[in-house]
Amino acid sequence: MKLSELNTGEKGVIVKVTGRGMFRKRIMEMGFIGGEEVLSVRNAPLNDPVHYKVMGYDVSLRRSEAELIEVLPFSANAATGADNAKAPNTQPLTLSSNDVRTMARERGHTINVALVGNPNSGKTTMFNLLTGAHEHVGNYSGVTVDARCGIFRQGDYTFRIFDLPGTYSLSSYSPEERYVRSHLEDEHPDVIVNIVDASNPERNFYLTSQLIDMDMPMVVALNMFDTVQRSGGSIDYKSLSHLIGAPAVPVSGRSSLGMKELFEAVIRVYEGSEPSLRHIHINYGEELEEGITHMRRALKKIEHIDRHISKRLIAIRLLEKDADTELFIKSLPGGDIVLEERDEHSAYVESIIREDVETAVADARYGFVSGALLETFRRGDIGKREYSKAIDIVVTHRLLGFPIFLLFMWIMFEATFRFGALPMQWIETGVTWLGDFIGRIMPGGPLRDLAVDGIIGGVGGVLVFLPNILILYLFISFMEDSGYMARAAFIMDKIMHKMGLHGKSFIPLVMGFGCNVPAIMASRTIESRSSRMVTMLINPLMSCSARLPVYLLLVGTFFPGREGFVLFALYASGIALAVVMARLFKKILFKGEDLPFVMELPPYRLPTLRSVLVHVWEKGKQYLRKMGGVILVASIVIWFLGYFPLQPEGATEAAMEENSYIGRLGKFIEPALAPLGFDWKMSVCLLGGMAAKEVVVSTLGVLGMPEFTATAALSFMFFVLIYFPCIATITAISSEAGSWKWGAFAVVYTCMLAWIVSALVYNIGVWIGCSG
């Protein structure tokens, strides 16, 4: 709890002091240090400030200052967070001084660390290495769209590590920039670890310069330092530490080089014993500095600005006309007067420097970065950037780029079927053997039929496609980790532009080949709301891995020898439909701005075997968990509906199925889907597929294969491609869009589009004589 929450007469033990710069140092010099007892003596007449007793001294603190001090009270209920509301007659327990000191020491040895860095700086790789988490690492911006928390221990300290979204700056333009900035300002991490790509420090250190302005405890991790050394380059990190006022530590997130030293520096910064730690001001030039000084004086007149926020930083942001800062100041008493003074000083400064303040501030920051690196950084002769340029000459070529991309996609689908065929047969043989074995050892009756036909037949029918799923994710993971996915976005920008989007939207769409849910969440990184909404609404048209078992089952049966081509055609059709629908949505629903295509092309990196295998294994586990959950339940429900009510003896199997509950349901909806070539079994399979597309296969495993023709099979696959994605995807769309009406809209438009396309496919196929 916060010191400000101690009631008059209550005692506590100080855990830690948060805050920043000289304020934090002054508070600690007054005796508010970890492990010391503090007594709340009395409040002032207006409830502020508060009189405290610490280390034998009487000290008064404002409540805003006391909120930056974490304490443990001498009350077991308060210390442990117990709820006394349920036991009103229970007296609070009193802990001994030693007990509370022990608890305070343990909590005081917990350090909250925020990982901050540019996209592709290796931030999430380091997070995974430290915490053992299996978050996916992609070599393109926008993989981390939310903060992830993990635990790491070293020595006597426990580190709570937050992996924040990758961002190039701390402006309030993009969602990830706003998220990172609000996390740092609202959550007050004990130490920021700024992860910098040491092979490209010029661009990465711009964010560092903004963190310096925030005046928060920081350690700079010079990631990929081994790459710099291999290229013949060098960084004088000790001199750099002195220049930026924060320790700079050489590390490698891929090989764990320097991790121990990095967190030793974090501990020194946290304890205030780091010799290089000092607050520095980036010099913005005489005219700008004069404007900053005037704004700081104006801000001192406002009493409601928290002390942990740097007045200098607020002044700089106001002069830059930062929208979020303007809203914050405007909401405070006297804020309008401050904004008027800002306009006056900003106009005066711009009249002298003859450019806008935002440009001048950015130039000064880059000047500070260039000066610091000029003294400490020597670039190697050959690096990954040069290799990347050589590869890009081919893969992003004006004429060759698109055919190479299509070739890679075709290879992916062909390999998914070819390489997965043999292990698929092994699993299928095993499932058949298990069903026969259970059928022999169990006595006849509903329970045996449930086990053999419902559980083994339903779940086993989906399990056989696990190798194909893993192979598909292997290719997608390689594309993401190597950096080729960013090139694919570059290549597809022209098509995206025709859709009213841009290349950055292509990343969530390709991620949709794996799973639509995280792909929709990844669309948060698209700055334009209209582009973000369109990207989310067309994402279900990307064939996720859950649809793949349906395709493989029918393609292998009806299109032997042409499996890879048909798979490629299905996925390409989904993309083509997405193009058409995006164009319609942009013209009718979202007539928004057309943003320029700005996206980094990171250097190519050979993915580590561990990274790729971890990604594939995690997706495999998700697939297996789904089979033990929704698919198992759906298989049992479908078996029950197909088994009951029991029919009279002598009834044929076909009559028993048609007269069952599921048969009656299928017959009821069959007329609506008959123009697509579907019988009642196929109609029921589509109903089950609303929960998860794998249920379509498990339903076929329970009911048996319908009377398919090649044309009907193709029509069925197109329907599965387009209609109702799954409940989880609809939920994700509703959540990200902020309204269930968009989830409902996705359900309606995909089902209507599926009916139209499948009807065309079936009737054209019949017309040209391909029904056999």
pLDDT digit string, tens, across residues 436-490: 999 899 888 888 888 888 788 778 777 877 888 788 788 878 887 787 877 877 7
The predicted structure's pLDDT at residue 209 = 93
DSSP code of residue 628: I
Specify the DSSP element, H or E, that contains 308.
none
Inter-CA distances, 356 with 320, 321, 337, 346, Å: 8, 10, 22, 8
Burial of 635 (0-12, 13-18, 19+ CB in 10 A): buried
The pLDDT confidence band at residue 45, using thresholds 50, 70 and 90, is low
pLDDT (tens digit per residue) in 487-511? 877 777 767 777 667 666 777 787 7
pLDDT digits (tens, 9 = 90+) for 695-704: 888 788 777 7
At residue 414, does pLDDT exceed 50?
yes
**Where do the H-state alpha helices sit in 153-200?**
175-187
Do residues 721 and 541 make contact, with C-beta atoms less than 8 angstroms apart? yes
The phi, psi pair for 381, rounded to 5°, reads -75, -40
Strand pairing of 37-43 and 11-17? antiparallel
Q: In the predicted model, what is the mean pLDDT of residues 68-79?
A: 66
Q: Name which of 453, 468, 460 is nearest 546 in CA terms.
A: 468
Mark out the alpha helices in 354-400 (DSSP H runs): 357-376, 384-395
CA–CA separation, 191 and 24 (whole Å): 13
Which tokens belong to 609?
Answer: 């075997």
- pLDDT of 260: 92
Q: At which residue do the structure tokens 């009406």 appear?
A: 741
pLDDT score for 617: 82
The token duo for 97 is 């001084």
Least reliable range by pLDDT among 12-26, 149-163, 297-311, 720-734: 12-26
Q: Which residue has the higher pLDDT, 35 or 196?
A: 196
Average pLDDT over residues 593-601: 56
* Structure token pair of residue 40: 């709340």
User: Are 545 and 513 spatial neighbours (Cβ–Cβ below 8 Å)?
Assistant: yes
The predicted pLDDT at position 102 comes to 63
Q: How far is CA 319 from CA 341, 630, 687, 690, 752, in A?
A: 10, 55, 58, 53, 52
Residues ≥6 apart with Cβ < 8 Å to 429? none
The b-or-e profile of 384-399 (16+ CB within 10 A means b, else e) is bbeebeebbeebbeee
Average pLDDT of the residues of the chain: 81
Distance CA 203, CA 196 (A): 9
Hey, what are 413's tokens? 């689908």
pLDDT at residue 538, as a whole number: 93
Cα gap 627→330, rounded to integer Å: 54
- In this prediction the pTM is 0.65
CA distance 523 to 238: 40
CB of 485 closer than 8 Å to CB of 138:
yes
Phi-psi bin for 682: left (phi > 0), alpha (psi -120 to 50), beta?
alpha
Average pLDDT over residues 514-527: 74
Which of 310 and 347 is assigned the larger pLDDT? 347
Model confidence at 304, in pLDDT bands (50, 70, 90)? Answer: low
- The average pLDDT across 309-326 equals 87
pLDDT at 308: 66
160-211 pLDDT, tens digit each: 999 988 888 887 667 778 888 888 888 889 999 999 998 888 888 999 999 9
| Start-to-end Cα distance in the chain | 74
Phi, psi angles (nearest 5°) of residue 95: -90, 150
Element (H, E) at 111: strand 110-117
Q: Check residues 336 and 519 and name the one with the higher pLDDT.
A: 336
- Identify the top-confidence range among 321-335, 451-465, 598-612, 714-728: 714-728
Structure tokens at 226: 């081994």
pLDDT attached to residue 88: 44
pLDDT given at position 91: 44
The residue among 472, 466, 452, 459 whose CA lies nearest residue 627 is 459
Pairing label, strands 157-163, 69-73: unpaired
- pLDDT confidence tier of residue 577, bands split at 50, 70 and 90: very high
Mean pLDDT over residues 2-29, rounded?
74
Whose CA is closest to 2, among 63, 84, 43? 63
Average of pLDDT values for 64-76? 74
Residues 512, 251: Cα–Cα separation, whole Å: 34
Q: What is residue 678's predicted lDDT score, i.e. its pLDDT?
A: 92
pLDDT at 86: 42
What span, in angstroms and rounded, lies between the C-alpha atoms of 454 and 82?
Answer: 47
Nearest CA-CA partner of 214 in 16, 19, 17, 2: 19
Give which of 126, 108, 109 is closest to 117, Cα–Cα.
126
Residue 746 has pLDDT above 90, yes or no: yes
DSSP 8-state assignment for residue 164: P
What is the pLDDT at residue 93?
Answer: 42
Q: Which residues are 196's β-sheet partners?
A: 222
Our separate counts of H helices and E strands in the chain read 36, 13
Tokens for 388, please give them: 């990347």
pLDDT confidence bin for 717, thresholds 50/70/90? very high
Question: Is residue 525 within 8 Å of 738, Cβ to Cβ?
Answer: no
What's the alpha-carbon Rg for the chain, to the nearest Å?
Answer: 31
Is the separation of the CB atoms in 299 and 314 below 8 Å? yes
Per-residue pLDDT reduced to its tens digit, 633-650 = 877 887 887 778 876 766
Name, in order, each residue with C-beta under 8 angstroms of 688's C-beta and a sequence gap of 6 or more: 634, 638, 695, 696, 698, 699
Cα–Cα dist 218/414, whole Å: 49
Q: What is the pLDDT of residue 195?
A: 95
Model pLDDT, residue 772: 45
Predicted confidence (pLDDT) at residue 92 exceeds the cutoff of 50: no
pLDDT band at 540 (very low <50, low <70, confident <90, very high): very high
More reliable by pLDDT, 766 or 769: 766
> 138 φ, ψ to 5°?
-120, 140
> If you average pLDDT over residues 30-56, what whole number do you get?
76
Residue with tokens 């997965």: 420
Band of residue 266 on the pLDDT scale cut at 50, 70, 90: very high
Per-residue pLDDT at 307:
61
- Name residue 170's amino acid: L
Q: What are phi and psi of 665, to 5 degrees?
A: -65, -45
- Using CB atoms within 10 Å of the CB of residue 313, give its burial: 0 to 12 exposed, 13 to 18 middle, 19+ buried: buried
Question: What tokens does 177 get?
Answer: 């920039």
3 state DSSP class of 14: strand
In angstroms, the CA 727 to CA 630 distance is: 11
CA 688 to chain centre: 29
Q: Is the pLDDT of residue 137 over 70?
A: no
Residue type, 421: A
Closest CA to 161 of 202, 122, 132, 203: 132
CB-count exposure of residue 132 (10 Å: 0-12, 13-18, 19+): exposed
* The amino acid at 496: M
Average pLDDT over residues 278-301: 87
Q: How far apart are the C-alpha atoms of 223 and 215, rounded to whole Å? A: 22
Residue 632: its pLDDT value, please?
80
Between the CA of residue 104 and those of 158, 160, 188, what are the distances in Å? Answer: 13, 16, 19
